[in-house]
Amino acid sequence: MSADGATLTDDLLEAARAWLAQDPDGQTRDELRALISRTEEADAAAAAELANRFSQRLAFGTAGLRGALGAGPNRMNRVLVAQAAAGLAAFLRERADDGDAPSVVIGYDGRRNSDVFARDSAEIFAGAGLHAILLPRMLPTPVLAFAVRHLGASAGVMVTASHNPPDDNGYKVYLGGDDDGAQIVSPSDSSIAAHIQRIADTTELGELPRSVGYSNADESLVEAYVAATAAVSPAPAGADGLRWVYTAMHGVGWETLSRIVESAGYPAPIPVEAQLHPDGAFPTVAFPNPEEPGALDLAYETARESSADLIIANDPDADRLAVAIPDASANGGWRMLSGNDVGLLLGWRAARAAVDEHGVPRDPSASLACSLVSSPGLGRIAEHYGLGFHETLTGFKWISRAPGLVYGYEEALGYLVNPGTVRDKDGISAAIAMLGLVGQAREDGRTIADVLAEFRETFGAFASDQISIRVDDVAEIAAMMAALRDDLPQTVGGVAASQVDDLRDGLGDLPPGDVLRFSLEDGSRLIVRPSGTEPKLKLYLDVRAATEKKARKRLAELAAGAREMLDAVR
């Protein structure tokens, strides 16, 4: 090993030993101790792993923190979470302008260490002089988002990695006050990150003050969420006799959803028993994400056995919703609706509710909003009903801030149907809204497939698809985006681009984002962006045609062209 290499390894070992000295978790201490020992014995693989963990820090951004569990600053663990909590506490105290102690509510899901991270955070918030409120048990992310507004809290923290792989966890931050319970955006994220870094650089974990003087939220908070969400769509007469299957995907959605279903008057679902209760190992799925291949296989099996009319699925923290319907042409007789299918149906529902019997908006400022990678069909709905429309960067931290919002969605199975109570995507309230649509269709003697056909007749056939390129090294994504920008393609699949937008420096009302948007001469669209939560490059494809058959044909052609474009820069 060169002198420089030896020095680098010595520096990493010194950092690892310092981390080990303050780590309160026996499991991560043992893991790190073994890694240090192997590195000292010149194990190259161990040295590389140590470098990965200690040569950089898990970045705190507008998605908070999210990463694999393990020891070191580039992993999710008790040291990192404690530093994040202390940094957030310092930010909230700096932000307070009334002299009163800020308040923060903390929630957690069923992932490994979620409860530990939540209690550590509550103790550090309380130790910093904040009024800390811990939710009474593991609960869905939407309950935490609701709690921030319901309690008038200064901030909220949800410990979850949503639908990420089993070994991940995360730390999602919401702000009260002027932010009205929405997730953080710039410049709050960078300010919080600076406080976290200062604490990590200057303060040992044992020096951070702690207190068990935090509060436990009363059950009445959950009851308030249940009541508000049941009111989203009380069961219509057509819901009687509805046979529907539900899976919680080994997450925390079932207990809360079942109470709301009963309160709203819907028949109880047929549960996918193997996936109904929280299990952070997610034993029946490779990825606990309803969008991933195979994730709904048990739900399909249950639906076939029970001759169900509908499948409803939540992701593990229940902020996303998936819907599947019977389809004789599909393999296995069931078809999962796309996020855009569901998003447009719920948007149509919201638009009709926003106008009076004469078709005039009840509130002139009422608007629909979606992320720029979601179907342009929502804009067509807004235009049809005389509502405002806003296109935002991806993420509900942006969608939830749209002026006059009555409904928002993004194609990644996220829907905001009750912005008056929850300022974030909510897979439970969206499920109730969807059950209401199904019940109403049944009352009229129709199915959701019939409603989709009516939508196409009214607004045109919109078809969307997504191509995801998963990589081992996120640097590959940056390289592909740079290569595209260096030589912007002017055609995709033989169709010329009428406009190419690079959002790196912002565009109109859109803030800066790592996004390329290709608008093609035939009206189709291709958007390229890195995933904000996973090591993926994502391509979003949208077309509109007179019929579904023509839209599907054009979509296949656009997908082939998009793959060719990407192959040229890989």
The secondary structure of 61-129 as a DSSP string is: BTTBEEEEBSSSTTSB-HHHHHHHHHHHHHHHHHH--SSSPPEEEEEE-SSTTHHHHHHHHHHHHHHTT
Helix (H, G, I), strand (E, B) or coil at 77: coil
Tell me the one-letter amino acid at 118: A
Q: Are residues 465 and 453 in the same domain?
A: no
Q: Which is it for the CA torsion 380, 386, 392, 394, positive or negative?
A: negative
Whole-Å CA distances, 448 to 128, 260, 331, 385, 453:
52, 22, 19, 21, 9
The three state secondary structure string of 472-512 is CCCHHHHHHHHHHHHCCCCEECCEEEEEEEEHHHCECCECC
Q: Looking at 190, 217, 244, which one is the last position of a domain?
A: 217
Does 213 reside within a domain? yes
- What per-residue confidence (pLDDT) applies to 1? 47
Does 185 reside within a domain? yes
Please list the alpha-helical segments (H only) found in 354-419: 377-385, 396-399
| CA 434/CA 66 separation, integer angstroms | 30
| CA 116/CA 483 separation, integer angstroms | 43
CATH number at residue 96: 3.40.120.10
Task: State the DSSP H helix or E strand holding residue 30, giving kind and residue range, or none if neither.
Answer: helix 26-40
Contact between 552 and 463 under an 8 Å Cβ cutoff? The reply is: yes
Q: Are residues 466 and 372 in the same domain?
A: no
Contact between 415 and 342 under an 8 Å Cβ cutoff? The reply is: yes
Does 100 reside within a domain? yes
Q: Are residues 153 and 198 in the same domain?
A: yes
| CA 169/CA 421 separation, integer angstroms | 26
Count other C-beta atoms under 10 Å from residue 146's C-beta: 30
| CA 315/CA 295 separation, integer angstroms | 10
Q: Which one, of 234, 265, 241, lies nearest residue 433 by Cα?
A: 234
Does 392 reside within a domain? yes
Q: Are residues 241 and 147 in the same domain?
A: no
Backbone angles phi and psi of 125, in degrees to 5: -60, -45
| CA 285/CA 197 separation, integer angstroms | 36
- What per-residue confidence (pLDDT) applies to 472? 86
Does 265 reside within a domain? yes
Q: Looking at 458, 487, 514, which one is the last position of a domain?
A: 458
Q: Are residues 239 and 380 in the same domain?
A: yes
| CA 95/CA 78 separation, integer angstroms | 25
Tell me the one-letter amino acid at 536: K
Q: Looking at 443, 458, 473, which one is the last position of a domain?
A: 458
Does 1 reside within a domain? no
Q: Which one, of 11, 27, 179, lies nearest residue 92 by Cα?
A: 179
For the record, the structure tokens of 226 come out as 């249940």
C-alpha torsion angle, residues 253, 257, 258, 263 (rounded to 10): 160
| CA 383/CA 423 separation, integer angstroms | 24
Q: Are residues 43 and 17 in the same domain?
A: yes
| CA 214/CA 255 separation, integer angstroms | 25
Contact between 256 and 140 under an 8 Å Cβ cutoff? The reply is: yes
Task: State the DSSP H helix or E strand holding residue 464, giving kind and residue range, or none if neither.
Answer: strand 461-470
CATH number at residue 476: 3.30.310.50
- What per-residue confidence (pLDDT) applies to 6? 60
Q: Which domain holds residue 27?
A: 7-55
Q: What is the largest CA-CA distance in the chain?
A: 80
| CA 376/CA 381 separation, integer angstroms | 9
Does 2 reside within a domain? no
Contact between 9 and 39 under an 8 Å Cβ cutoff? The reply is: yes
Q: Are residues 450 and 499 in the same domain?
A: no
Q: Please report how the helices 114-127 and 78-95 are oriented relative to each other, as an axis angle in degrees rounded to 10.
A: 40
Q: Are residues 254 and 273 in the same domain?
A: yes
Q: Which one, of 165, 161, 203, 195, lies nearest residue 64 by Cα?
A: 161
Helix (H, G, I), strand (E, B) or coil at 133: strand
Does 232 reside within a domain? yes
**What stretches of 124-243 adopt beta strand conformation (E)?**
131-134, 155-159, 168-175, 182-183, 215-216
For the record, the structure tokens of 37 come out as 């020992």
Tell me the one-letter amino acid at 26: G
Contact between 390 and 369 under an 8 Å Cβ cutoff? The reply is: yes
Q: Are residues 501 and 562 in the same domain?
A: yes
Catalytic residue set: 162
Q: Which is it for the CA torsion 345, 348, 353, 356, positive or negative?
A: negative
Q: Are residues 493 and 447 in the same domain?
A: no
Q: Are residues 347 and 305 in the same domain?
A: yes
- One digit per residue, the tens of pLDDT, for the chain of length 570 reads 444 556 668 899 999 999 999 999 999 999 999 999 999 999 999 999 999 999 999 999 877 999 999 999 999 999 999 999 999 999 999 998 767 899 999 999 999 999 999 999 999 999 999 999 999 999 999 999 999 999 999 999 999 999 999 999 999 999 999 999 999 998 999 999 999 999 999 999 999 999 999 999 999 999 999 999 999 999 999 999 999 999 999 999 999 999 999 999 999 999 999 999 999 999 999 999 999 999 999 999 999 999 999 999 999 999 999 999 999 999 899 999 999 999 999 999 999 999 999 999 999 999 999 999 999 999 999 999 999 999 999 899 999 999 999 999 999 999 999 999 999 999 999 999 999 999 999 999 999 999 999 999 999 999 999 898 888 888 899 999 999 999 999 999 889 999 999 999 888 888 898 999 999 999 999 999 998 767 889 999 999 999 999 999 999 999 999 999 988 888
Q: Are residues 122 and 47 in the same domain?
A: no
Structural domains counted in the chain: 4
